[in-house]
């Protein structure tokens, strides 16, 4: 068996399918299945596409009749509701509207009054979700599936590869990885974890023989003003970026759960975040603002911060 | 103690040694429950013939299933 | 920083809620095991599984010191071929069919005589028995959300024995799939047409008889933390009809009479099964215990310990030890010095008091979608393994070994 790697862009970031196959043709077939699944979900849930479910939902905001969700979207909405409940309201797919005042390209800190003007549009408790009917009661409200569809897509693509007969490999979407399976000899993949202050370098490697790993960090989108870092991880209750942890990586059976847990941990902050992951019983690795590593996942620190690899 | 028993104990020891050298990190908790080895009967066909053999040589029977049939006794 | 081991944390409610919600999304791979029966465990991601297993059962000879002739005598051999096909029918149903073909040959215990000192010695059946058994079991499972229903039916055929059975089983997952309640009912009808029944050679042997059996069970399985699963079940069986062995005789004060057992039997079994993951060794421990009691007066204990050791390059090793001990049936005697008022006679070693110990080793190797296995087992029964000391051992207690090889292919 040989290792084959396929890279492409989807869901706003770099993707990779790497797998062991008997020959190039078999690898091509398995990778195509994964890519098709990722592109399907991108098309369905992208904010930027006119025909996506997300656009359809957001156009319906203010319409009391709402819209009807298909089975997959309904299950994703149920999941969002569960994550909202379990995070005490921190994981909230209505918080995307904050981007109207937080422009990470313009690098501008909004005034409190601007944020206060947006907050009434935020809060899953304002959404009327009575499966299969979804109503966004206020015009201007928005749902954003970007916070978890990427991880879900990694799970689905890995499963699609397994269904097609692949057994050894992984699917990665911008750092979130769902394993198809361990190396053919059963050895784990060594997953490099990003250094939050040098994102193309590995801070540590985590061996993974099954399941998934997802990371969340303040390095993904941010700007700095007067020495303060403003990251894209916004608290939906205050409208302000959270501070505390630099990055969190979580290992879970599903990439979806790993991603949700890492996002919630970041939002909970330096003390409550790691404690909550501990209560969950999920293996994790946290990087504090000062760069100190802590966590329960077996890992090897990379001394000179070598290149980011997955082997 | 019989020859067979000593042999069994020896094999167990070897298995433990192999287990250590071939140790792989196992992930998450929930996932461990999903391993095929955690099934009640990981090899159901083998389990069926073993059960059939014991049932035909011993007085006791009964399991958490209602399947079965056949004697093949003597 | 040295690697840290994750402490064994019980499953957290938040994680359970997220997991349940994630797995409710259509097409998400279910990493969590279904606790109720596991009709096609290795085929969960695959649509079809084919399984073939050959087993050679070889009973050790009976020593001359235990036979009436004073000669060693060969006993029974069985060659079994098992075929299984398991396939998915849509996303919520699956079907499993098991076919078994066996050829049996050899001699079997006939009756027991007292020797000059009163020691029981075995008389073996003179002619070598040759028989052929074919059996088919079919099972269909369908999931309705948290409930799984199963229908099963089967047939077994030998020259002198025909059985047909059917059953219904169901299971229900609740408490976030941490708990599973399961149960089932089954019915079996057997027809016996013994070889040379009512013949001039064996005039007292019955020509035809039948019996039936009704069985039911209920069980509860519980996830205890992330690495432990426990199941406890109670099974009850009622048998009615001809339950004797038509080929066996009993010695009664100088005569031989037909094996004669009660016309019904009530059996109770309580089965507890534990599956414990040992993450540090990449192994899983299986511990099973069964308590058994019936109204023929037999109480039995069965304990089984197996260690599933995963090794690199898709190898696995499964050593297993099984211990069994039973008390005798009330009416059993190795031989009878006087006629019994109840008219019940049996000297069958299966109804005698004994214990047994078996050791087994299995080796598994996965090659892509193929899985190969070899297994050896040695089983030995005798008074020494019994939970209570035994005054008189039945001379026919068995020793056997089994060689078995299997091949599984998933599609």
In this complex, is the C-beta atom of C6 within 8 Å of any C-beta atom belonging to chain A? yes
Q: Among A134-143, A287-296, C237-246, C285-294, name the one with the lowest average pLDDT.
A: A287-296
Measured distance CA(C366)–CA(C384) in Å, rounded: 39
Determine, yes or no, domain membership for C99: no
Q: Max CA-CA distance within chain B?
A: 49
What number of C-beta contacts closer than 8 Å exist between B and C?
260
Task: Tell whether the torsion through CA atoms of C314, A188, B32 and A162 is positive or negative.
Answer: negative
Instruction: Note the maximum CA span of chain A.
Output: 61
Confidence of residue A294 (pLDDT cuts 50, 70, 90): confident
**Distance (Å, rounded) from C-alpha C49 to C-alpha C90?**
15
C221 within a domain of the structure (yes/no) = yes
Neighbours of B, requiring at least 3 CB pairs below 8 Å, are A, C
Task: Name every chain C residue with its beta carbon within 8 A of the beta carbon of A300.
Answer: 3
Q: What is the pLDDT of residues A199-257, one digit of tens each?
A: 667 777 888 888 999 999 887 777 888 777 888 889 999 999 988 898 999 999 999 99
Contacts of B26 in chain C (CB under 8 A): 277, 279, 282
Residue C301 within a domain: yes
The CATH number given to whatever domain includes residue A276 is 3.10.520.10
Average pLDDT, chain B: 59
Query: Whole-angstrom Cα distance, residue C320 to residue A204?
Result: 40
The answer for A 231-290 residues in CB contact with B (under 8 A) is 251-253, 281-283
Residue A110 CA, chain-centre distance (Å), reads 25
A266, A273 Cβ separation under 8 angstroms: yes
**Within this chain, do residues A235 and A304 fall inside the same structural domain, yes or no?**
yes
- CB-based contact, C386 to chain B, within 8 Å: no
Taking the C-alpha atoms of residue A285 and residue A250, their distance in angstroms, rounded to an integer, is 7
Number of Cβ atoms within 10 Å of the Cβ of C313:
12
Contact criterion met (CB < 8 Å) for A281 and C27: no
Task: Please give the C-alpha separations between residue C321 and each of C270, C332, C358, in angstroms, as whole numbers.
Answer: 20, 29, 6
Residues on chain A touching B28 (C-beta within 8 angstroms): 211, 251-253, 282-283
List, in sequence order, every residue forming a beta bridge with C132; answer none if it has no partner. C103
> Which member of A81, A85, A253 has the closest CB to residue C31?
A253
Q: Is the pLDDT of residue B38 over 60?
A: yes
Residues A153 and A231 in one domain: no
C345 close to B (CB below 8 A): no
What residue in A sits closest to B34 (Cα-Cα)?
Answer: A253
| One domain for residues A257 and A161 | no
3-state secondary structure of A204: strand
Number of neighbours of residue C198 by Cβ within 10 angstroms: 12
A307 at C interface, C-beta within 8 A: no
Query: If you measure CA to CA, which chain B residue comes closest to A186?
Result: B24
- pLDDT at residue B32, as a whole number: 53
Residues 349-378 of chain C whose Cβ lies under 8 A from any Cβ of chain A: 368-369
| DSSP sequence for C67-108 | BTTSS-B---EEEEEEEEEEEEETTTEEEEEEEEEEEEEE--
Chain C environment of B42 (Cβ under 8 Å)? 41-42, 308
Q: Is B17 an interface residue toward C (CB < 8 Å)? A: no
Q: Is the CB of C215 inside 8 Å of chain B's CB atoms? A: yes
- Rounded CA gap, C215 and C188, in Å? 9
Find the helix or strand (DSSP H, E) in which A261 lies.
helix A255-268
B6 burial type by CB count under 10 A (0-12 exposed, 13-18 middle, 19+ buried): exposed
Residues from chain A that touch B29, judged by Cβ atoms under 8 A, are 281
Q: What is the dihedral of CA C200, C202, C207, C209, to 10 degrees?
A: 170
C319 part of a folded domain: yes
Whether A129 and A58 map to the same domain: the answer is: yes
Q: Tell me how many degrees the CA angle B20-B25-B30 measures, rounded to the nearest 5.
A: 125
Instruction: Report the CATH number that the domain containing residue C131 is assigned in CATH.
Output: 2.40.160
Mutate to test the interface with C, among B21, B40, B41, B54 (most CBs of C within 10 A): B40
Q: Closest approach of chain B CAs to the CA of C392, in angstroms?
A: 17
For residues A230 and A133, membership in a common domain is answered with: no
pLDDT one-digit tens code per residue, C142-173: 988 789 999 999 999 998 999 999 999 999 98
Helical packing angle, A149-163 and A255-268, nearest 10°: 160
Q: How far apart are the first and last CA of chain A?
A: 15
pLDDT of residue C91: 67
**pLDDT at position C347:** 96
For residue range C30-60, list pLDDT tens digits in order: 543 333 333 333 333 357 889 999 999 999 9
Q: Which of A143, A165, A196 is the last residue of a domain?
A: A143
**Residue C99 pLDDT exceeds 60:** yes
End-to-end CA distance of chain C: 44
Q: Is residue C133 domain-resident?
A: yes
Clarify whether residues A113 and A164 are in a common domain.
no
Would you tell me how many other CB atoms lie within 10 Å of the CB of residue C166?
A: 18
Average pLDDT over residues C201-212: 91
This model of the complex carries an ipTM of 0.90
Q: What is the mean pLDDT of chain C?
A: 88
Tell me the backbone φ, ψ of residue A132, rounded to 5 degrees.
-95, 10
- The shortest C-alpha distance from A282 to chain B (Å) reads 6
Q: Inter-chain contact A296–C313, Cβ cutoff 8 Å?
A: no
Check CB contact under 8 Å for C3 and A280.
Answer: no
Residue C101: pLDDT band (50, 70, 90) is very high
Q: How far is B42 from chain C (nearest CA, A)?
A: 7
Write out the two tokens for A246. Answer: 């630099």
A205 reaches C (C-beta below 8 A): no
CA distance to partner chain B, nearest, from residue A221 (Å)? 29
What is d(CA A261, CA A87) in angstroms, rounded to the nearest whole number?
Answer: 9
Residues A134 and A277 in one domain: no
Structure tokens at C125: 């059946």
A40 and A79: one domain?
no
- Please tell me whether residues A57 and A122 are part of one structural domain: yes
DSSP β-ladder status, C48-59 and C77-89: antiparallel
Question: What's the first-to-final CA gap in chain B, in angstroms?
Answer: 28
C345 within a domain of the structure (yes/no): yes
Mean pLDDT, chain A, as a whole number?
A: 89
Name the phi and psi angles at C246, rounded to 5. Answer: -65, -20
The CB density around residue C81, as the number of other CB atoms within 10 Å, is 14
Residue C176 lies in a domain: yes
Closest CB from B27, B30, B34 relative to A209: B27
- Examine residue C254 and state whether it is found in any structural domain, yes or no: yes
C-alpha torsion sign, points C143, C148, C149, C153: positive
Count structural domains, chain C.
Answer: 1
Given an 8 Å threshold on Cβ–Cβ distance, is C6 in contact with A186? Answer: no
The separation between CA C69 and the C-alpha centre of its own chain, rounded to angstroms, equals: 33
- Residue B47 has a pLDDT of 94
- Is residue C33 within 8 angstroms of chain B, CB to CB? yes
Q: What is the pLDDT of residue A308?
A: 61
Distances, alpha carbon C172 to alpha carbons C36, C50, C67, C89, in Å: 8, 28, 53, 20
Which residue, C234, C213, C248, C6, is CA-closest to C111? C248
Residues 6+ apart with CB under 8 A from A110: A101, A102
Taking each continuous run of H as one helix and of E as one strand, the counts in chain B are 3, 0
Question: Which of these, C220, C251, C244, C398, lies nearest to C335 by C-alpha position?
Answer: C251
- Are A27 and A149 within one domain? yes
Q: Which chain A residue is nearest to residue C367, measuring alpha carbons?
A: A184
Mean pLDDT of the region A64-87? 92
Find chain C residues with C-beta within 8 A of B64's C-beta: 37, 182, 217, 219, 231, 233, 235, 271, 273
**Contacts of C72 by beta carbon, 8 Å cutoff, 6+ apart:** C61, C62, C63, C64
Q: Taking a C-beta distance cutoff of 8 angstroms, is the pair C16, A86 a contact?
A: no
Instruction: Give the model confidence (pLDDT) of C360-373 as tens digits.
Output: 999 999 887 789 99
> For chain A, which chains pass the contact test of at least 3 CB pairs under 8 Å?
B, C
Is A44:A64 a contact under the CB 8 Å cutoff?
A: no
pLDDT of residue B30: 35
C-alpha C353/C-alpha B9 separation (Å) is 27
Q: Flag the least confident range among A140-154, A283-297, B37-51, C341-355.
A: A283-297
Cα–Cα distances (Å) from A249 to A256, A269, A286, C211, C337, in that order, read 13, 14, 6, 64, 79
Asked if residues A16 and A5 have their Cβ atoms less than 8 Å apart, the reply is: yes
State the best of A253, A256, A284 to mutate against chain B, taking most chain B CBs within 10 Å.
A253
Q: Which of C76, C85, C92 is nearest to C130 (CA)?
A: C76
Q: Can you name the residues that pair with A285 across neighbouring β-strands?
A: A249, A295
Q: Are residues A199 and A176 in the same domain?
A: no
The reply to whether residue C381 touches residue B36, judged by beta carbons under 8 angstroms, is no
Note whether C272 and C288 are within 8 A (CB): yes
CATH code: domain of residue A79: 1.10.3980.10
CA distance linking residue C386 with residue C397, whole number of Å: 12
Q: Pick from A22, A36, A72, A86 the residue to mutate for testing the C interface (most C CBs within 10 Å).
A: A86
DSSP E strand boundaries for chain A: 2-10, 13-21, 67-68, 128-130, 133-135, 169-173, 176-181, 189-195, 198-208, 212-217, 222-225, 228-231, 245-252, 283-288, 293-295, 300-301
| Structural domains counted in chain A | 3
Residue A141 main-chain phi, psi, to 5 deg: -70, 155
Range of the domain at A103: 53-143
Give C370→chain A minimum CA distance, Å: 12
**Chosen from C5, C14, C23 to mutate, greatest number of chain A CBs within 10 A:** C14
């Amino acid at each position: 068996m040989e290792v084959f790697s396929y890279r492409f862009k989807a869901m706003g970031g770099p993707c990779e399918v790497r797998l062991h196959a008997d020959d190039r043709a078999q690898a091509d077939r398995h990778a195509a299945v994964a890519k098709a699944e990722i592109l399907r979900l991108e098309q369905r849930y992208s904010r930027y596409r006119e025909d996506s479910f997300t656009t359809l939902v957001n156009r319906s905001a203010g319409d009391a009749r709402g819209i009807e969700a298909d089975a997959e979207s309904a299950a994703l909405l149920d999941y969002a509701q569960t994550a909202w409940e379990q995070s005490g309201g921190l994981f909230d797919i209505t918080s995307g509207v904050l981007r109207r005042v937080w422009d990470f390209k313009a690098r501008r800190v909004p005034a409190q009054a601007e944020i206060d003007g947006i907050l009434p549009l935020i809060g899953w408790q304002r959404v009327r979700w009575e499966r299969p009917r979804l109503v966004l009661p206020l015009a201007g409200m928005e749902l954003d599936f970007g916070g978890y569809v990427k991880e879900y897509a990694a799970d689905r693509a890995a499963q699609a590869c397994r269904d097609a007969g692949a057994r050894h490999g992984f699917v990665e979407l911008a750092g979130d990885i769902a394993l198809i399976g361990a190396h053919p000899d059963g050895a784990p993949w060594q997953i490099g974890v990003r250094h939050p202050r040098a994102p193309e370098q590995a801070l540590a490697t985590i061996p993974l023989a099954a399941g998934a790993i997802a990371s969340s960090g303040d390095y993904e989108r941010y700007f700095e003003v007067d020495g303060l870092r403003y990251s894209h991880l916004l608290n939906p209750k205050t409208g302000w970026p959270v501070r505390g942890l630099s990055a969190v990586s979580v290992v879970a059976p599903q990439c979806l759960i790993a991603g949700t847990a890492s996002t919630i941990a970041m939002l909970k902050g330096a003390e409550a975040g790691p404690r909550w992951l501990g209560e969950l019983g999920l293996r994790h690795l946290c990087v504090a603002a000062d760069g100190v590593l802590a966590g329960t996942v077996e890992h090897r620190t990379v001394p000179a911060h070598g290149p980011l690899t997955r082997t | 103690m019989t020859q067979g028993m000593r042999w069994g104990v020896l094999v167990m020891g070897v298995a433990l040694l192999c287990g250590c050298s071939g140790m792989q990190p196992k992930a998450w908790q929930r996932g461990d429950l999903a391993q095929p080895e955690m099934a009640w009967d990981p090899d159901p066909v083998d389990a069926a013939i073993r059960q059939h053999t014991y049932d035909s040589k011993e007085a006791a029977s009964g399991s958490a299933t209602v399947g079965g049939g056949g004697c093949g006794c003597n | 920083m040295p690697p840290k081991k994750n402490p064994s944390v019980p499953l957290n409610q938040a994680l359970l809620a997220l997991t349940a919600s994630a797995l409710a999304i259509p097409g998400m791979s279910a990493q969590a095991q279904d606790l109720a029966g596991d009709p096609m465990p290795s085929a969960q991601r695959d649509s079809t599984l084919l399984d073939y297993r050959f087993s050679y059962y070889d009973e050790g000879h009976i020593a001359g010191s235990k036979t009436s002739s004073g000669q060693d005598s060969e006993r029974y051999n069985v060659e079994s071929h098992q075929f299984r096909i398991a396939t998915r029918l849509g996303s919520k149903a699956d079907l499993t069919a098991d076919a078994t073909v066996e050829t049996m040959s050899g001699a079997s215990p006939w009756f027991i005589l007292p020797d000059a000192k009163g020691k029981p010695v075995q008389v073996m059946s003179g002619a070598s028995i040759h028989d052929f058994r074919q059996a088919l079991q079919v099972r269909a499972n369908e999931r309705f959300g948290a409930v799984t229903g199963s229908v099963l039916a089967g047939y077994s055929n030998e020259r002198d024995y025909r059985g047909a059975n059917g059953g219904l089983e169901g299971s229900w997952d609740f408490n976030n799939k941490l708990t599973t309640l399961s149960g089932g009912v089954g019915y079996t009808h057997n027809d016996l047409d013994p070889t040379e029944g009512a013949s001039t050679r064996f005039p007292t042997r019955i020509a035809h008889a039948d019996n039936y059996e009704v069985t039911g069970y209920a069980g509860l399985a519980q996830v205890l933390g992330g690495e432990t699963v426990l199941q406890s079940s109670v099974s009850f069986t009622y048998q009615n009809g001809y339950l004797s062995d038509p080929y066996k005789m009993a010695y009664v004060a100088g005569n031989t009479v037909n094996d004669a057992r009660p016309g019904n039997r009530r059996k109770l079994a309580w089965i507890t099964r534990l599956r414990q993951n040992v993450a540090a060794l990449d192994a899983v421990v299986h511990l099973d215990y069964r308590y058994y009691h019936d109204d023929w007066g037999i109480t039995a204990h069965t304990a089984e310990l197996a260690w599933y050791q995963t090794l690199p390059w898709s190898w696995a090793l499964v050593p297993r030890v099984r211990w069994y001990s039973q008390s005798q049936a009330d009416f059993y005697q190795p031989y009878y010095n006087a006629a019994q008022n109840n008219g019940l006679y049996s000297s069958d070693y299966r109804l005698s008091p004994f214990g047994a110990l078996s050791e087994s080793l299995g080796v598994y190797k996965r090659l892509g979608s193929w899985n190969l296995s070899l297994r050896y087992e040695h089983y030995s029964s005798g008074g020494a393994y019994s939970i209570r000391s035994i005054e008189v051992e039945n001379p026919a207690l068995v020793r056997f070994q089994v060689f078995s090889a299997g091949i599984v292919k998933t599609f």
